Amino acid sequence: MNDKRLKIVSVDTETVSCGDIDFAPIEQLGETAFYGVLTPEALEEAAKDADILLVNKANVTRGLISKCAKLKYVGTYSTGYNNIDIPALEERGIFACNVPGYSTNAVCQHVFALMLMFAGKTDKYASSVERGDWLKSDTFCYFTWPMAEIYGKTFGVYGYGSIGRAAARAAEAFGMKVIVHTRTAPKDCPYELVSSDEIFAHSDFLSFHCPLNEQTAGIINKRTLSLMKPTAVIINTARGGLADEAALAAALNEGRIGGACLDVITREPMRPDCPLIGAKNCIITPHIAWGPRETRARLVEMVAQNIRAFLNGTPQNVITRGLLV
């Protein structure tokens, strides 16, 4: 199915593919134009005649929406959608759909890659061998960087959606004690449910899997960090805005918590004034938890499925919920 009358504009292309992803599932649906990361002005020009607009992190503002007279649908290459003005779309009757669940396994994998690297210092030891340090060693091993077991430690899960549940199961498999904080108590949760303050106070590793909204913005702050054990480690693969970065950097540099493993920061890409640059015991990766090729290929297929469902009159994964009433 390729409706030449349907104009699809897809932006942020290089945030989804480095040339390794096939966009044919989307291209089959209409006349498709792909763009990279655009300035707001260039985005308005590219999208002005679009029936369907696909974005990853580009801001879909009220101003942009007002310039797009034909726009019927906005799709995200993501689960999060805090970059989209939902009320403005609803006022125009424009549907928007996201892609939940596509990255659950990849993000869970990255959580444990970060945690195991932090606990075992595997990155430091591998770099040491690459530098030739083992060639110079008098013994068959050396313990330059202290390591720790994660077995028996308490793993806090802040947010119990699909990724949070997967992380909880993985932690349990490692022999960790799992505790959970979530806004809505889930049915048949096999783990202890605790308050927000309790999960900060009791976790050895506290992993965040909640959306960024008014309730969660800045939840990692001076007060909540003061509740934590001095050996505790923050893991954030959700959204950078969950953390007051200055407060987190201060807690790290002053030794009030043990460390942080982050795949997200407040302003991305990182800027020179980010407070976390050079912070003690802080591992940062560049928002790549969702990055395995299989994951991104799945994402593109699910974006296409969302469009097909919309065109067939049965929209799915709708985030403009006011249009479903």
Pick the more confident residue, 185 or 13. Answer: 13
pLDDT band at residue 36, thresholds of 50, 70 and 90?
Answer: very high
Q: What is the pLDDT of residues 226-276, one digit of tens each?
A: 999 999 999 999 999 999 999 999 999 999 999 999 999 999 999 999 999
User: What is residue 74's DSSP assignment?
Assistant: E
Instruction: Quote the pLDDT of residue 26.
Output: 98
Q: What is the pLDDT of residues 136-154, one digit of tens each?
A: 999 999 999 999 999 999 9
Q: How far apart are the first and last CA of the chain?
A: 30
Q: Which of 209, 239, 245, 296 is catalytic?
A: 239
> Whole-model pTM above 0.85?
yes
Instruction: Quote the pLDDT of residue 161.
Output: 94
Sorted by where each starts, the structural domains of the chain and their CATH numbers stand as 3-102+292-323 (3.40.50.720), 104-284 (3.40.50.720)
Q: Are 50 and 62 in contact (CB under 8 A)?
A: no
**Order of all β-strands in the sheet with 95-97:** 30-34, 3-10, 52-55, 73-76, 95-97
Angle at 9 between CA 8 and CA 13, to 5 degrees: 125
Give yes or no: 239 in active site. Answer: yes
Q: Are 228 and 206 in contact (CB under 8 A)?
A: yes
pLDDT band at residue 185, thresholds of 50, 70 and 90?
Answer: confident
264: left (phi over 0), alpha (psi -120 to 50) or beta: beta
Q: Share the mean pLDDT of the chain.
A: 96
Whole-Å CA distances, 204 to 162, 178, 216, 273? 22, 10, 20, 29
Residue 325 pLDDT > 90, yes or no? no
Give yes or no: 287 in active site. Answer: yes
Report the pLDDT averaged over residues 316-324. Answer: 92
Give yes or no: 131 in active site. Answer: no
HEC-encoded secondary structure of 93-120: CCEEECCCCCCHHHHHHHHHHHHHHHHH
Q: Which of 165, 181, 287, 296 is catalytic?
A: 287
